[in-house]
């Protein structure tokens, strides 16, 4: 099935990665078989999307295998830009990165990871040990762009300083939750939101690249009856409901009506419209869910609108 009248999907470059990847990135943690995944991923590819997010722990390895099957069956393994993640707690250790990467690349059928992101941080490990372990794999030609998921500003800065001091490739990507709704309760243990004044200030000043997971706040901006049903402990109202977020949703609805789009499309456009390089992971389960997300790419938000939506100013 093809999507009709799809807007152009923008692409961007990353430090250390060859080529460009789409600024929207499809998550691959919800497809258990090629038959289930292929219609959605085919539609995504035909619409111009080329980026996929995977991880060593997703489906205990099954989801990497399915993505690898799809890429091979479509002959797109060289063109696809796959974000490979590893070193999740309790295996967030420098010595586990190479071991897990080898397994992930075999599952995916790739000879290198265009983008590699550590799935968690481990505050008990000196940050330089992680940077050294990643750069050893860069030297082998196995890793492209580097990043950390659910890292604090302090550790991210420390990693950058260490890399600069030792002439190494830095972590150039921060992969935390960034959505218009602030994550009030961690969706999973160890998760960090980037929608804080200090984090947004750092990103705006440093121009570091941010790739957001749960960029649509797990459906928080969609009407109750239209949401995909999720486990209660990770449901949007469990993790994102608050008085301030309700006001953010109300404001998104106001702009949506003015611009003739849907409320959740405004929320998605907010993530993509930041004053720093910002990309968004999305997790559509059907072609229809993908189709209702893509129009967000046509929404242009001003800096004033972005600040107003996020309660950083009282009026437009």
Query: What DSSP string describes 73-137?
Result: HHT-TTT-EEEEEE--TTS-SHHHHHHHHHHHHHHHT-SSEEEEEESS--TTS-HHHHHHHHHHH
Per-residue pLDDT reduced to its tens digit, 177-205: 999 999 999 999 999 999 999 999 999 99
- The pLDDT value recorded for residue 173 is 98
Collapsed DSSP state (helix, strand, coil) of residue 9:
coil
Q: Identify whether 34 is part of a domain.
A: yes
What's the mean pLDDT in 283-300? 94
Q: State the residue range of the domain holding 156.
A: 11-241+271-300
Q: Identify whether 263 is part of a domain.
A: no
- The pLDDT value recorded for residue 2 is 54
DSSP assignment string, 140-189: TT-EEEEEEES--HHHHHHHHHHHHHHT-PPP-EEE-B--SS--SS-SST
Per-residue pLDDT reduced to its tens digit, 70-116: 999 999 999 999 999 999 999 999 999 999 999 999 999 999 999 99
Per-residue pLDDT reduced to its tens digit, 226-235: 787 888 999 9
Q: Identify whether 250 is part of a domain.
A: no
Q: Give the confidence band of 5 by pLDDT, cuts at 50, 70, 90.
A: low
- The pLDDT value recorded for residue 224 is 80
Q: Identify whether 265 is part of a domain.
A: no
For the chain, give the mean pLDDT. 96
* pLDDT above 90: residue 223: no
- The pLDDT value recorded for residue 228 is 79
Q: Identify whether 284 is part of a domain.
A: yes
Q: Identify whether 262 is part of a domain.
A: no
The CATH code of the domain that includes 139 is 3.20.20.100
Residues 88 and 56 sit within 8 Å (Cβ to Cβ)? yes
* pLDDT above 90: residue 243: yes
* pLDDT above 80: residue 3: no
* pLDDT above 80: residue 4: no
Q: Identify whether 47 is part of a domain.
A: yes
Q: Which of 295, 294, 271, 296 is nearest to 284 (CA)?
A: 294
What's the mean pLDDT in 283-297? 94
Q: How many structural domains does the chain have?
A: 1
Q: Identify whether 109 is part of a domain.
A: yes
Tokens 């995504």 locate to 44
DSSP conformational letter for 295 = G
Element (H, E) at 27: strand 24-27
- The pLDDT value recorded for residue 6 is 74
């Amino acid at each position: 099935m093809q999507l009709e009248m799809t807007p152009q999907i923008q692409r961007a470059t990353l430090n250390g990665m060859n080529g460009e990847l789409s600024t929207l990135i499809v998550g691959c943690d919800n497809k258990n078989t090629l038959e289930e995944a292929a219609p959605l991923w085919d539609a995504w590819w035909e619409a111009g999307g080329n980026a996929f997010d995977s991880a060593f722990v997703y489906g205990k390895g099954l989801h990497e295998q399915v993505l690898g099957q799809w890429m091979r069956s479509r002959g797109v393994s060289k063109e696809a830009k796959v974000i490979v993640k590893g070193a999740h707690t309790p295996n967030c250790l420098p010595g586990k990165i190479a071991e897990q990467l080898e397994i992930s690349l075999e599952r995916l059928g790739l000879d290198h990871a265009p983008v590699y992101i550590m799935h968690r941080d481990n505050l008990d490990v000196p940050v330089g040990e992680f940077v050294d372990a990643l750069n050893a794999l860069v030297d082998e030609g196995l890793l492209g762009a580097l990043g950390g998921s659910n890292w604090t500003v302090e550790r991210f800065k420390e990693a950058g300083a260490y890399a600069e001091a030792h002439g190494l490739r830095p972590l150039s990507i921060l992969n935390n939750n960034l959505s218009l709704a602030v994550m009030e309760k961690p969706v999973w243990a160890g998760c960090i939101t980037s929608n804080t004044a200090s984090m947004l200030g750092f990103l705006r000043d440093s121009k570091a690249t941010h790739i957001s997971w749960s960029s649509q706040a797990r459906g928080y901006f969609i009407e109750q009856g239209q949401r995909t049903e999720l486990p209660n402990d990770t449901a949007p109202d469990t993790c994102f409901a608050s008085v301030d977020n309700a006001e953010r949703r109300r404001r998104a609805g106001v702009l949506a009506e003015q611009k003739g789009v849907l409320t959740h499309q405004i929320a998605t456009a907010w993530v993509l419209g930041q004053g720093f390089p910002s990309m968004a992971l999305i997790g559509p389960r059907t072609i229809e869910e993908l189709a209702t997300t893509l129009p967000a790419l046509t929404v242009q938000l001003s800096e004033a609108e972005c600040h107003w939506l996020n309660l950083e100013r009282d009026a437009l």
